[in-house]
Structure 1
């Protein structure tokens, strides 16, 4: 990320750092930070680069990751389960979609919409006959920006670690964590 010298104080305060803490992380003196923030000095390129690198690194660490957004409890359904069973699970758990898992692998997604479409068309008796393609899988360290972009195109995102599904993120989860707690 690129910064302007005038932004250092604002960014430092946003990150909850003192001048001394930023100076220590950047490998410069606290007095240099103070002079830059008060526009009393025009620092060298090398010193500026160190300060900006420290700020950038700290901002990345502050960024919200998929692990913080995900619901850890995965309620899923098998592809050979009946549509009636899927409806029952959704109703009982108060959710609108279920990942379809076969032999520990994500193979699809079934939602209220797909069930309604199937019932209106009298199509299918098993989940496998009506399921949609599997939603995208991300790692625990995927940024909130990537998750948000994916949720614009998919109803849910699945979080995996070392090939094992560990959580789900829906639009509702994302909005709840970011804006509602």
Structure 2
């Protein structure tokens, strides 16, 4: 099933190409592209498919991927480490969340909000012997390096961070700040 025809103009404008350029890439006349975009003409299925294929290939070449915007210097802790070590790493590196691993597998995350709740519940003496695994939250979602960066924006807004993997190995993290790289 093809996308709606209104998408043709939106995609063309977003890509910054003219009707003439789209027409030459698809083998359709400029007049036909104009008529399709204005709603005066309904193209055949084959013509519409060809237009969408060209637009899709152009978007694939120009759009950023998760691997392009992720921070590849991943700071993390192991689940058996003391909570104080995780807090120290977070403060030293000015980060608001830190992934938790069990060897090479992601098993959770520590966040500033989660740590604030724990600190309210326990006094400082109780926190000295707490292990990361005792207070970590569920792990954040993971995406492949080739995932379109635009698809990450709603996910990051909801989960605060997304881990980026390549060949099943976590290689980076995307936070809300990282999504701003798409504007540059």
Aligned residues: 172
**Cα distance in 2 for residues equivalent to 1:144 and 1:104:** 25
The question of 1:50 aligning with 2:16 is answered no
Deviation at 1:85, TM superposition (A): 1.0
Aligned in 2, Cα 1:168/1:11: closer, same or farther, shift over 3 Å?
closer
Give structure 1 stretches of 5+ with no counterpart.
Answer: none
The question of 1:142 aligning with 2:147 is answered yes
* Residue in structure 2 matched with residue 110 of structure 1 by the alignment: 110
**Cα distance in 2 for residues equivalent to 1:169 and 1:55:** 27
Q: SS at the partner of 2:159?
A: coil
The question of 1:177 aligning with 2:173 is answered no
Aligned in 2, Cα 1:43/1:118: closer, same or farther, shift over 3 Å?
closer
Matches within 5 A, 1:68-147: 68-122=68-122, 125-147=130-152
Give structure 2 stretches of 5+ with no counterpart.
Answer: none
CA contact (8 A) 2:100 2:110 kept: yes
Task: Return the TM-score normalized by structure 1.
Answer: 0.78
Task: Return the TM-score normalized by structure 2.
Answer: 0.77
CA contact (8 A) 1:69 1:177 kept: yes
Deviation at 1:56, TM superposition (A): 3.4
**Cα distance in 2 for residues equivalent to 1:52 and 1:104:** 41
Once the two structures are superposed, residues 93-115 of structure 1 have per-residue CA deviations (whole angstroms, 9 ceiling, x without a partner) of 01111101121110110112222
The question of 1:2 aligning with 2:4 is answered yes
**Cα distance in 2 for residues equivalent to 1:52 and 1:111:** 42
Deviation at 1:171, TM superposition (A): 1.6
* Residue in structure 2 matched with residue 66 of structure 1 by the alignment: 66
